[in-house]
């Protein structure tokens, strides 16, 4: 049987954290640069329906798509590399697979049959993989399988890959990412873990077509030959994947190893067109040769695990490149910021960014950080909870509403300047029930934000339950905090700004989800530009 869309499966062996997401995104970038239409999908073997209910310490940031999916942070890499939006279909978990099969069983769709992992769960997995392929939009779908080969949880996924390889022999290949560790005592790179992980795949009936070998040292010809021979792959399909200075170097490293060419050959697709990576190289050149340098304080409560703020830190890198500036991030734990150590904690910062978040832990440190930025005229950017903290701080210290708060933290406070949205009041379930995904926002001409975007109507992604309480709007505006962005239908305040300040912007939406290498986000770019201007 033939299928017009081609499928590339990316699996991982030996250990987790080898960077399957970056390899998938880099391969996709190279194929896209040759003119192919590509999407990348992540299959996650955990039982949560989505990562929306996961603590960031468990799994890093929760990425949000335009259509409101709460997804794995790898989707952020896919979008940043490809500059193409992902959607609900791009992230599937075991929870979603089982939920759907069980719903079908309850509807009676299986006509009295016993419902089993094979074929019912594997069929559902195969269907989810092909949803993207069947759209008729993509030449190639890259499907990254989360976890490590050999995990009990990922067995049904590997079985689904085996079946698809069997059914669509000409159209499916497997790229297996492994580790070739360096043993200092022996002074050697070791291939045995790679051999073992390929054996494990073979036991499950899957022969990988290409091996990407993560290594800290050069993989010489002897090693490549050895790996090829023991793992039944061609010599040119043993790809060295060396540690890189920046994740944005990886597409070029993979190009040097001809990963894209080998993939296309194995899929029977033409390799004639050379990839056009001109603008990517320009980005890298600017990244590596900055003219200026600034330090931004990122105030949040999950700073021990930097992956919790992945999209924000990548957006700062993109905005730095747009401004020929190296952006150094100082990670500031909001729980450790107090009134007493405020000056010390914020010393030397050129700009302050207060991060999104949930719950009371670390909130007073965030509010104090806003106060410092406002009073000392340090450029300030507040995102979601960061914007809400800016509103609470202004209410307390400028409007003199000393008991002002968000009802998320203090549900009976005297001045609920941030309050739960009406449509959220009756919701008791946690998963997927926030205000999620893209909504439009009308900007006030002449504001910092409209100057950043150069247009007056924008669309940005959301993930929140609380909002600015419009009963207080007049009071805020009369005292200098303006609502410069609103949802045109509901009047929900999306953006607040202070005029008498070098740059003070808070957004209810999350601009960080839309910054890419090809299109650094205008708001982050404007923030860094204001920081530069202010620090000169
Ligand atoms: N906890 C806040 C709310 O739900 C902010 C959410 C966020 O920062 N993403 O409105």
Q: What is the pLDDT of residue 43?
A: 97
Q: What is the pLDDT of residues 470-483, one digit of tens each?
A: 999 999 999 999 99
Question: pLDDT grade, residue 279 (50/70/90)?
Answer: very high
Q: Which atom of ligand 1 is nearest to the CA of 510?
A: 9
**In angstroms, what is the span from residue 219 Cα to ligand 1's centroid?**
47
Q: In the numeric block, which tokens belong to residue 250? A: 């990886």
Q: Where are the beta strands (DSSP E) in 283-414?
A: 292-300, 325-333, 351-354, 380-383, 404-406
Percent of the chain with pLDDT over 90: 95
- Mapped onto helix, strand or coil, the DSSP state of residue 260 is helix
Residue 259: C-alpha distances to residues 175, 192, 230 (Å): 10, 22, 20
Overall average pLDDT of the 435-440 stretch: 97
**In angstroms, what is the span from residue 463 Cα to ligand 1's centroid?**
6
Overall average pLDDT of the 157-163 stretch: 98
What is the best residue among 68, 353, 357 to mutate for testing ligand 1's pocket, by most ligand atoms within 8 Å of CB?
Answer: 357
CA distance 44 to 54: 13
Q: What is the pLDDT of residue 392?
A: 98
Question: pLDDT grade, residue 536 (50/70/90)?
Answer: confident
Q: What is the pLDDT of residue 434?
A: 94
Q: Whose CA is nearest to atom 3 of ligand 1?
A: 464
Is 510 designated active site?
yes
**In angstroms, what is the span from residue 20 Cα to ligand 1's centroid?**
30
**In angstroms, what is the span from residue 408 Cα to ligand 1's centroid?**
9
**In angstroms, what is the span from residue 356 Cα to ligand 1's centroid?**
6
Question: pLDDT grade, residue 59 (50/70/90)?
Answer: confident
Q: Bigger pLDDT: 312 or 58?
A: 312
Is 384 designated active site?
yes
* Annotated active-site residue in 70, 159, 494, 512: 512
Which protein residues touch ligand 1 with a CB less than 6 Å away?
A: 356-358, 384-385, 408, 463-466
CA distance 103 to 363: 41
Overall average pLDDT of the 349-372 stretch: 97
CA distance 447 to 12: 48
Overall average pLDDT of the 153-181 stretch: 97
Q: Is the pLDDT of residue 235 over 80?
A: yes
Q: What is the pLDDT of residue 273?
A: 77
Q: What is the pLDDT of residue 2?
A: 41
Q: Are 517 and 309 in contact (CB under 8 A)?
A: no
CA 229 to chain centre: 37
Classify the C-alpha dihedral 386-389-395-397 as positive or negative: negative
What is the best residue among 298, 299, 356 to mutate for testing ligand 1's pocket, by most ligand atoms within 8 Å of CB?
Answer: 356
Question: Could you tell me which residues come within 8 angstroms of residue 312 by beta carbon, excluding any fewer than 6 positions away?
Answer: 298, 353, 355, 383, 512
Q: What is the pLDDT of residues 2-58, one digit of tens each?
A: 458 999 999 999 998 899 999 999 999 999 999 999 999 999 999 999 999 999 998
Q: What is the pLDDT of residue 274?
A: 83
How many other CB atoms are there within 10 angstroms of residue 17's CB atom?
9
How many other CB atoms are there within 10 angstroms of residue 297's CB atom?
24
Q: Is the pLDDT of residue 1 over 80?
A: no
Is 218 designated active site?
no
Q: What is the pLDDT of residues 492-525, one digit of tens each?
A: 999 999 999 999 999 999 999 999 999 999 999 9
Is the backbone of residue 324 left (phi > 0), alpha (psi -120 to 50) or beta?
A: left
Q: What is the pLDDT of residue 64?
A: 98
CA distance 271 to 433: 45
Mean residue pLDDT of the chain comes to 96
Q: Which residue in this structure is represented by tokens 């912007």?
A: 505
Instruction: Specify which residues 332 forms β-bridges with.
Output: 299
Overall average pLDDT of the 260-286 stretch: 93
Overall average pLDDT of the 389-416 stretch: 97
* Annotated active-site residue in 77, 120, 464, 510: 510
* Annotated active-site residue in 384, 393, 405, 497: 384
């Amino acid at each position: 049987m033939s299928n017009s869309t081609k499928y590339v499966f990316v699996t991982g062996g030996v250990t987790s954290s080898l960077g399957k997401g970056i390899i998938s995104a880099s391969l996709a970038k190279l194929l896209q640069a040759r003119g192919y239409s590509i999407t990348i999908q992540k299959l996650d073997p955990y039982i949560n329906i989505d990562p929306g209910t996961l603590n960031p310490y468990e799994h890093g940031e929760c990425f949000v798509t335009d259509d409101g999916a709460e997804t794995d942070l790898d989707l952020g890499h896919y979008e940043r590399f490809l500059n193409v939006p992902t959607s609900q279909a791009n992230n599937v978990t075991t929870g979603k697979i089982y939920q759907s099969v069980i719903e079908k069983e309850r509807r009676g769709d299986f006509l009295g049959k016993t419902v089993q992992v094979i074929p019912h769960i594997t069929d559902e997995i195969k269907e989810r993989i092909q949803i993207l392929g069947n759209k008729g939009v993509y030449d190639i779908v890259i499907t990254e399988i989360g976890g490590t080969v050999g995990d009990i949880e990922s067995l049904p996924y590997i079985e689904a890959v085996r079946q698809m390889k069997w059914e669509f022999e000409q159209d499916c290949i497997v790229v297996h990412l492994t580790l070739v560790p360096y043993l200092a005592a022996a002074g050697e790179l070791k291939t045995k873990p790679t051999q073992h992980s390929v054996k494990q795949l073979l036991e499950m009936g899957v022969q990988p077509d290409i091996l990407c070998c993560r290594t800290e040292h050069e993989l010489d010809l002897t090693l490549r030959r050895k790996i090829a021979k023991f793992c039944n792959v061609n010599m040119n399909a043993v790809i060295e994947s060396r540690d890189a200075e920046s994740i944005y170097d990886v597409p070029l490293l993979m190009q040097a190893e001809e990963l894209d060419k080998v993939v296309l050959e194995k899929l029977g697709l033409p390799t004639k067109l050379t990839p056009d990576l001109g603008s990517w190289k320009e980005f890298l050149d600017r990244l590596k040769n900055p003219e200026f340098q600034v330090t931004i304080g990122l105030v949040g409560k999950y700073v021990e695990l930097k992956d919790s703020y992945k999209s924000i830190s990548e957006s700062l890198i993109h905005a730095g490149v747009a401004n020929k500036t190296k952006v150094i991030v100082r990670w500031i734990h909001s729980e450790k910021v107090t009134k007493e150590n405020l000056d010390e904690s914020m010393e030397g910062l050129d700009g302050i960014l207060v991060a999104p978040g949930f719950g009371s832990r670390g909130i007073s440190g965030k509010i104090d950080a806003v106060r410092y930025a406002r009073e000392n005229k340090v450029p300030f950017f507040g995102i979601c909870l960061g914007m809400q903290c800016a509103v609470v701080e202004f209410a307390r210290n400028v409007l003199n509403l000393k008991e002002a708060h968000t009802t998320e933290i203090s549900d009976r406070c005297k001045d609920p300047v941030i309050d739960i949205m009406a449509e959220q009041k009756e919701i008791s379930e946690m998963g997927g029930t926030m205000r999620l995904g893209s909504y439009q926002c009308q900007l006030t001409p002449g504001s910092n934000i409209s100057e950043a975007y150069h247009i007056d109507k924008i669309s940005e992604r959301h993930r929140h339950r609380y909002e600015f309480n419009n009963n207080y709007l007049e009071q805020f505006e009369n005292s200098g905090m303006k609502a410069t962005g609103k949802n045109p239908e509901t009047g929900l305040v999306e953006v607040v700004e202070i005029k008498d300040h070098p740059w003070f912007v808070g957004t209810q939406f999350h601009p960080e989800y839309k910054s890419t290498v090809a299109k650094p986000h205008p708001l982050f770019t404007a923030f860094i530009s204001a920081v530069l201007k202010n620090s000169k």
